[in-house]
Amino acid sequence: MKVRDEVCGMTIDAESAAGNAEFEGKTYHFCSDRCRDLFQEDPDRYLPTDTQRRNPGGRHHRHL
């Protein structure tokens, strides 16, 4: 299954991801240990806001 690395935006294969992390009951996959480490330091920096997570079809989005 193809997934997006939330830190760098790279599309990767979840089964062969270099790193994984759990956050709020969801598993995220990363292209490298560095991307995983950055995510673990501050997950909210790389994920949509709480409102957007609850309403993924909403029109607002976050620019990094």
Which one, of 48, 57, 11, lies nearest residue 26 by Cα? 48
Report the first-to-last Cα separation within the chain, whole angstroms.
25
- pLDDT per position as a tens digit, 27-47: 999 999 999 999 999 999 999
The region of weakest confidence among 4-8, 34-38, 52-56 is 52-56
CA count, 13 A, side-chain hemisphere, 19: 15
**How many CB atoms within 10 Å of residue 4?**
13
Would you say residue 60 has pLDDT above 60?
A: no
pTM score: 0.74
Whether residue 63 contacts residue 42, with contact meaning beta carbons closer than 8 Å, is answered with: no
